[in-house]
Amino acid sequence: MDNQEFSCQPRMTCMPRSFDLNAPENFFTTPSITKNGIDNVYNHFLNRDSDIYITTYPKSGTTWTISIIENLVKKVPQKGISIGMSTQECCVWLDRVASRTEWRLIFSELEEMKSTRFFKSHACVGLIKHPARIIQCMRHPLDTFVSGWHHIRGKQQIFNYNGSWNHFFSEIVMAGKNEGGDWFDYHEEFLKASEEGKIDALFLRYEDMKKDNAISAIHQIAQFIRVEYYDAEKISKATSFTKMKEKSNQGHINRDGNLSDDYVSQEVGDTNTPSNAHIRKGIVGDWVNYLSDDELTMWRNYVHTKKDSCPHVIDFFSLDNLLCN
């Protein structure tokens, strides 16, 4: 496949969305995660009842949530931000390290860790090994997609995609080919699994976290992970957007445990200029600066097609909120 062909679709791994033999093959994830890696987790990873997964649709507040946990358990990196690439971090990106050639050695290291272990994942609920305790931060889909375009378009070395915002929204997001797959299906499966008692889950709202600087979320997370002694105000300040951006500008921790500046950028980008900053803007409602009237109509029509098959999502977000009324 040549570069021109690559540019039309982000480079992704497409795989079945659960371990069931007849599962539909429509889950999309970063190319650094492989089907073999997911199988390694299912067949060889020894999970514990106490394990906690920070499992989110990409660009929904994952790094923020992990940073709060790092502060609660007092395992904050001295410099930079954690994105789960190294086993030295508090929250290891399990699916990604399981996709490396040295996965057996990594699994041995994870076995030696004391409980409670924390793992990052963007996998859908069907690809997470149960039993599972899950913390999931949810964000308004349109803001998620805007952030996702900058993420995918800005990191060409990973996704090899140079499509415009308009192409990304109409041809990738609306086709369910974004990283994480269809946004509605992803969240419906988690919410339904929680209601049915298949997972023990804490669901957070990104927008609510922004309103009170995550104070309420810090208390909720602390209770969920069973941390009794902490200073919520101090953690709130340490994980504010300003502080997170400062740490992001120092770099992220790579697989060797060193700092990398691959995703360091002062640019927040716009509809014409993507940004590859890992911590970029973090505001609520920025989608209004991206979606055209036609794209908003397209989205509203799509919401109406999904409302009957995804009732838990509608209940959680409200139809008016999803329709942007």
**Is the sign of the CA dihedral 62, 67, 73, 79 positive or negative?**
positive
**Structure confidence at residue 312 (pLDDT):** 98
pLDDT band at 7 (very low <50, low <70, confident <90, very high): low
Q: What is the pLDDT of residue 279?
A: 87
pLDDT tens string 205-264: 999 999 999 999 999 999 999 999 999 999 999 999 999 989 888 888 888 888 778 777
Strand (E) or helix (H) holding 202: strand 200-205
52 Rama sector, left if φ>0, alpha if ψ -120 to 50, beta otherwise: beta
The domains of the chain are located at 3-323
Residues 6+ apart with CB under 8 A from 208: 216, 217
pLDDT at 218: 98
> Rounded CA gap, 77 and 250, in Å?
11
| Bigger pLDDT: 260 vs 322 | 322
| pLDDT beyond 50 at 44 | yes
What is the Cα–Cα distance from 268 to 274, expressed in whole angstroms? 8
> 299-303 — which CB contacts under 8 Å span 24+ positions?
299/142, 299/174, 299/324, 300/324, 302/174
CATH number assigned to the domain covering 3-323: 3.40.50.300
Q: What is the pLDDT of residue 43?
A: 96
